[in-house]
């Protein structure tokens, strides 16, 4: 494709994208296709001669859109949001054009340097303690990971390196394999499944600790577990504190957990994948009270801060544990400025990395903090609006306190009725929700996800829930 055609194709695509997004609420949120729907719609082999871009464009509606779940529809209430904005989309075009692989500073200095500064900007926006920020001149700094799952794993590996190092100092005769077999980390029964996975990938034990009646991990529970494990000859080394759990957007007691971790030389990682974006608003920062005790902190601007996937912001007080743990240094990756700027390949699992800081820069500049705060506050208000609608119907109950943009609710009564309600709701395809279960209680989760959502959309979602409940209850 030559530049002239690229310009026409690109312009046509921009028009298509803007019309897709602006009219997204008119599409059925969940597709009706069956598995295997796509193969018969396209040829069995790649074309020998090039197709026209116009034909590719016209296949989008025929081949792709029938199988798309419209995550940015105001009727999409499943999981947590994933971000989408015009500035981030445009930044990704530029990132695609530069198409560098920024594994080291010299591999594209702007890629590394913009990332360092953006993580400082973002850290300041949520009032992170200065120990996490590169601009403070200390050891700390930030990095963009692909996902929160990667951040949890990377933090675990840093914690493992730190624990092996300090145990070796205390017991120089202990073999590394013996030390690793004694390491034990902690998480709560409510943390995301990626935490358990990090333990499996990292080859260490993780204990899943019980939460209190409000589904929060408490300091005393962690303290007791550490005590038991030390008595059993194990080495506590890592704990994950969730701020905004996936099931119910609950906040572990960070201000209790932090001191316990610090006293026991346990690396504290804070996973605020969804909720972290809300900390740009001062009124939600009380939810991160105690953050100064953490060793690493992570949240996903790609969830709730209008930066398209992937952009998972992670800060570390002392990244040297990662840098040293993952440091392999072949000649072809060495450069003369090594040591004077981060080589981000040491901070992550893969070698390659895209120029993701561009989309953060574009979004922060083109929205400004003020509009990002407005966006978060609007979603929280919409969640309370839906909460009040649910509360106004005495057949329903709210099962968890609504703190941010997630409403957990159910029909009063048994789980089977609620399972029936959800199945029927998703089957109708007007709105899309996923369930969760805490203890024996099955409930529905309604997350405010789209940046297009207005009160009138929430009215439609509530009408849909109510009418479907009428049908389910009439059948009982």
Using CB under 6 A as the binding rule, whether residue 167 contacts ligand PLP is answered as no
- Name the one range near ligand PLP by CB under 6 A: 28-36, 41-49, 267-275, 326-334: 267-275
Using CB under 6 A as the binding rule, whether residue 242 contacts ligand PLP is answered as yes
CB of 148 to ligand PLP, least distance (A): 4
Cβ burial 47-79 (10 Å sphere, 16+ → b, else e): eeeeeebeeeeeeeeeeeeeeeebbbbbbbbbb
Return the structure tokens found at 198. 């990090």
- Name the one range near ligand PLP by CB under 6 A: 174-182, 215-223, 266-274, 337-345: 266-274
d(C-alpha 4, C-alpha 9), whole Å: 9
Inter-axis angle of helices 357-391 and 86-98, nearest 10: 150
Q: How many CB atoms lie within 10 A of CB 210?
A: 12
- Name the one range near ligand PLP by CB under 6 A: 61-69, 146-154, 178-186, 416-424: 146-154
- Name the one range near ligand PLP by CB under 6 A: 34-42, 144-152, 434-442, 462-470: 144-152
Strand partners, 235: 183
With tokens 């120089």, the residue in question is 172
Of the candidate residues 183, 266, 273, 449, the single one contacting ligand PLP (CB under 6 A): 273
CB of 151 to ligand PLP, least distance (A): 8
Return the structure tokens found at 231. 């008595």
Positive or negative, the CA dihedral 256, 258, 263, 269 is: positive
Q: How far is CA 328 from the centre of its chain?
A: 28
Using CB under 6 A as the binding rule, whether residue 274 contacts ligand PLP is answered as yes
CB of 310 to ligand PLP, least distance (A): 8
Total site size for ligand PLP, rule CB under 6 A: 15
Of the candidate residues 167, 221, 246, 418, the single one contacting ligand PLP (CB under 6 A): 246
Using CB under 6 A as the binding rule, whether residue 250 contacts ligand PLP is answered as no
Contact 71, 323 (CB under 8 A): no
Contact 301, 132 (CB under 8 A): no
- Name the one range near ligand PLP by CB under 6 A: 128-136, 243-251, 279-287, 353-361: 243-251
Using CB under 6 A as the binding rule, whether residue 312 contacts ligand PLP is answered as yes
- Evaluate the omega torsion of the peptide bond into residue 310 and state whether it is cis, within 30 degrees of 0: yes
CB of 47 to ligand PLP, least distance (A): 35
Of the candidate residues 84, 95, 108, 149, the single one contacting ligand PLP (CB under 6 A): 149
d(C-alpha 372, C-alpha 377), whole Å: 9
Using CB under 6 A as the binding rule, whether residue 438 contacts ligand PLP is answered as no
CB of 142 to ligand PLP, least distance (A): 16
3-state helix, strand, coil in the chain (%, to 5): 50, 15, 35
Of the candidate residues 84, 300, 426, 453, the single one contacting ligand PLP (CB under 6 A): 300
CB of 331 to ligand PLP, least distance (A): 34
**Distance separating the N- and C-terminal Cα atoms of the chain:** 61
Question: Which residues contact ligand PLP (rule: CB under 6 A)?
Answer: 80, 147-149, 192, 194, 242, 244-246, 271, 273-274, 300, 312
């Amino acid at each position: 494709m030559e530049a002239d055609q690229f310009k026409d194709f690109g312009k046509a695509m921009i028009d298509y994208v803007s019309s897709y997004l602006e009219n997204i609420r008119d599409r059925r949120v969940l597709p009706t296709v069956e598995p295997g729907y796509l193969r018969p719609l396209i040829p069995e082999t790649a074309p020998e001669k090039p197709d026209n871009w116009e034909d590719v464009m016209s296949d989008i509606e025929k081949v792709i859109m029938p199988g798309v779940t419209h995550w940015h529809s105001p009727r999409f209430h499943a999981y947590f949001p994933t971000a989408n904005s015009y500035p981030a989309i445009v930044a990704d075009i530029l990132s695609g054009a530069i198409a560098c692989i920024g594994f080291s500073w010299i591999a594209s200095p702007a890629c590394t340097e913009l990332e360092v500064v953006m993580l400082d900007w973002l850290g300041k926006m949520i009032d992170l303690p200065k120990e996490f920020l590169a601009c403070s001149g200390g050891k700390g700094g930030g990095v963009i990971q692909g996902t929160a799952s990667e951040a949890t794993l990377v933090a675990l590996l840093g914690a493992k390196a730190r624990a092996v190092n300090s145990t070796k100092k205390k017991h120089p005769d202990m073999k590394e394999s013996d030390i690793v077999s004694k390491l034990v980390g902690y998480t709560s029964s409510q943390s995301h499944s990626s935490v358990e996975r990090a333990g499996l990938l990292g080859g260490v034990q993780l204990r899943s600790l019980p939460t209190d009646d409000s589904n929060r991990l408490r300091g005393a529970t962690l303290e007791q577990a550490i005590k038991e494990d030390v008595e059993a000859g194990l080495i506590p080394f890592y704990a994950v504190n969730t701020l905004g759990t996936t099931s119910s957007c609950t906040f572990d007691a960070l201000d209790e957990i932090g001191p316990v971790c610090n006293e026991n030389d346990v690396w504290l990682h804070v996973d605020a994948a969804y909720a972290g974006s809300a900390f740009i608003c001062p009124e939600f920062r009380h939810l991160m009270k105690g953050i100064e005790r953490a060793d690493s902190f992570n949240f996903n601007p790609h969830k709730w801060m209008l930066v398209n996937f992937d952009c998972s912001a992670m800060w570390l007080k002392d990244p040297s544990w990662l840098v040293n743990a993952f440091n392999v240094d072949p000649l072809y990756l060495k450069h003369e400025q090594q040591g004077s700027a981060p080589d981000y390949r040491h901070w992550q699992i893969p070698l390659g990395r895209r120029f993701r800081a561009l989309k953060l820069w574009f979004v922060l500049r083109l929205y400004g903090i003020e509009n990002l705060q407005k966006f978060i506050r609007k979603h929280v208000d919409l969640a309370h609006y839906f909460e009040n609608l649910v509360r106004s119907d005495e057949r329903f109950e709210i099962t968890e306190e609504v703190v941010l943009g997630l409403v957990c609710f159910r029909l009063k009564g048994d789980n089977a009725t609620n399972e029936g309600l959800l199945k029927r709701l998703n089957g109708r395809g007007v709105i899309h929700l996923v369930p969760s279960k805490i203890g024996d209680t099955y409930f529905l989760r309604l997350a405010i996800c789209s940046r297009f959502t207005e009160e009138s959309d929430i009215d439609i979602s509530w009408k849909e829930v109510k009418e479907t409940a009428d049908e389910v209850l009439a059948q009982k």
